[in-house]
């Protein structure tokens, strides 16, 4: 993930080649990161460069 905010908000970005597919992949990888307790690197993050993802009640959180 480039930034944690990309996981926290559901959006289709016009700068992606296939915005809908990119949105679906963000959600897929976010859920997998939460299930497998990944320590994620957010390589374009302005505030939080690494963090663990949780997925509860349809929402992602980064800690």
Report the pLDDT value the prediction gives residue 36, as an integer from 0 to 100: 98
Residue burial 33-56, b: 16+ Cβ < 10 Å; e: rest: bbeeeeebebeebeeeeebebebe
**Whether 56 contacts 12, CB under 8 Å:** no
Closest CA to 62 of 12, 16, 8: 8
In this predicted model, what pLDDT tens digit does every residue of 13-28 receive, in sequence order?
A: 888 999 999 999 999 9
pLDDT at residue 7 tops 80: yes
In this predicted model, what pLDDT tens digit does every residue of 31-52 receive, in sequence order?
A: 999 999 999 999 888 888 999 9
Report the pLDDT value the prediction gives residue 24, as an integer from 0 to 100: 94
Predicted structure pTM score? 0.85
């Amino acid at each position: 993930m480039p930034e944690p905010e990309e996981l926290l908000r559901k959006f289709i970005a016009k700068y992606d080649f296939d915005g809908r597919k990119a949105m679906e992949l963000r959600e897929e990888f976010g859920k997998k990161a939460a299930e497998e307790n990944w320590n994620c690197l957010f390589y374009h993050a302005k505030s939080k460069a690494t963090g663990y993802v949780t997925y509860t009640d349809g929402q992602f959180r980064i800690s």
